[in-house]
Structure 1
């Protein structure tokens, strides 16, 4: 996990290249394997030697490494998009566990599809900006290139075999890298296949879960940009229907409103019978149909 964070931080690249060159001068054959093993410790010592005043506060916290205790969540809101782990939504009708990440190599974009298994929070030492945390997604990633289980793309739909998994030793991505997708049953290829559907997000979940403004204990929040939040409350339908905003209202007892509504309904029934000239039998039949509905 820590290695993935370091390799996805642009500020770390120059230090990683220095460490790589030192390993190369030692005559090591498998340079990348040694770099992955030694760089976190080398990086911490190197930044400590430079001194906190010569690097950014974020880089210094990153070099110190995260707390050994990792916080695990079953849901996460990232830039207004809500994610659930696959296990959390097993008994739900909604789907928020589908994830996709893009990788660009030599100007060629590759997309990887999977489902979210865990949301992990790495907590780094505090600095003058306060708490420093990085959120990771651990996913189950589908095999897109297998001979029998690879992705099938007919130009209209992309079908994935959800039973064939890959990248089990490299399952992590940054939460901010994820894009949400949906999976639907593929009626053409069978039960082990799903059609993946991408869409444009409306970023609805920039709103606190509770009216107190406190976050749900099982949810995590990470945003690239700060957003203005507000609490949404339900409005009573009756008050919404019979309310005015052009003048100050007068409080009345609920029983008075009930009686007025009851009289109004009785008036509508009587006037409807007289005006339309309907027979009693026809009116009775309509009332019965309304009750059944």
Structure 2
């Protein structure tokens, strides 16, 4: 195991750095969220949950939040002393609680997306503080909307770091039978949220790479406290679904994407990979197996058809005409001087 998922975040903080000391309760809450959402810790969470079920099935999540961090630290210490392979140094560092002294920031870039805190946004004409997290639970799903309050960097042993977003979550409860009491409304393709009501104040943390960015616009129809949520597709960022039935070389797909972008910059030929095309009967055939074609094959076929040669010839002829004009002007200037 080279590293843990929570220690491998692609985050670059850039403004408002402060060095603050949090109270132990807030640090324990942040540490529990990191443990609960770390993929490599899931087997130990399941093991600890089975032990709790032997006593009682009541309040499993609350009991596990209280007992698991200490249980996990002891477990990793014993496994490391016994020389077990599963007890890696990274897991041991994660099991030990983070330092109560943390760095906070007012802005950062996560996987190429810029986030600002709400406080920083209030002094700007742009908006980068809206966050959205899709939630999944037993029996359904729920979308959580809020604003970013602070970017926190937790420091574990051996200088391992985890970036968390501390957020304020708007109440989006849809369980009320009275439509007028619901804090979220859906009107055709528009979603509006009442920002005057909040919830989950004791669970403000998410991993920085879990956040998706949204924008909030005033809803003149429902009132000043209502905001229309606008989800966006970021430029130069695509969500390409993976093929389940075939093993596709990801390096090959990256090569195709890069070459296509370079082609677009060179000769204004655009290449598009659209998810919608899979649903278009005119662009999709079920009677043949799909085939992934490398970019160099496409480029070679296009060059053999004379596309690149014709383009280059046109460019060369234009350059020759320009140079010929320059030479004639130079000759006439010399004759005039003589």
Task: State TM-score, norm by structure 1.
Answer: 0.63
Residue in structure 2 matched with residue 40 of structure 1 by the alignment: 69
Task: Between the two structures, name the one with larger relative contact order (CA 8 Å, sep ≥ 6).
Answer: 1
Q: Which SS does the other structure have where 1:190 is aligned?
A: coil
Q: Which runs of 5+ in 1 are unaligned?
A: 205-245, 247-293
In structure 2, the CA distance between the partners of 1:142 and 1:40, relative to structure 1 (3 Å rule), is: same
In structure 2, the CA distance between the partners of 1:33 and 1:71, relative to structure 1 (3 Å rule), is: same
Task: State TM-score, norm by structure 2.
Answer: 0.55
Instruction: Measure how far apart 1:108 and its partner are.
Output: 3.9
Does 1:8 pair with 2:40?
A: no
In structure 2, the CA distance between the partners of 1:93 and 1:20, relative to structure 1 (3 Å rule), is: same
Residue in structure 1 matched with residue 129 of structure 2 by the alignment: 97
On the 8 A contact 2:80/2:88 being kept in 1, the answer is: no
Instruction: Measure how far apart 1:191 and its partner are.
Output: 0.6
In structure 2, the CA distance between the partners of 1:3 and 1:203, relative to structure 1 (3 Å rule), is: farther
On the 8 A contact 1:98/1:183 being kept in 2, the answer is: yes
CA distance in 1, matches of 2:91, 2:140: 30
Q: Answer 1 or 2: which has greater helix percent.
A: 2
Instruction: Measure how far apart 1:79 and its partner are.
Output: 0.5
Does 1:50 pair with 2:79?
A: yes
CA distance in 1, matches of 2:61, 2:195: 32
CA distance in 1, matches of 2:192, 2:58: 41
Length, aligned pairs only: 201
1:20 to 43, 49, 53: 49
CA distance in 2, matches of 1:34, 1:145: 25
Does 1:154 pair with 2:187?
A: yes
CA distance in 1, matches of 2:146, 2:72: 32
Q: Which runs of 5+ in 2 are unaligned?
A: 1-29, 238-318, 320-338
> 15-24 vs 4-13, which deviates more?
15-24
Within a 5 Å distance, the mapping from 1:1-293 to structure 2 comes to 1-26=30-55, 29-51=58-80, 54=85, 55-106=87-138, 108-126=140-158, 131-145=159-173, 147=176, 148-202=181-235
In structure 2, the CA distance between the partners of 1:186 and 1:14, relative to structure 1 (3 Å rule), is: same
CA distance in 1, matches of 2:182, 2:222: 11
Q: Which SS does the other structure have where 2:152 is aligned?
A: strand
Q: Which SS does the other structure have where 2:228 is aligned?
A: strand
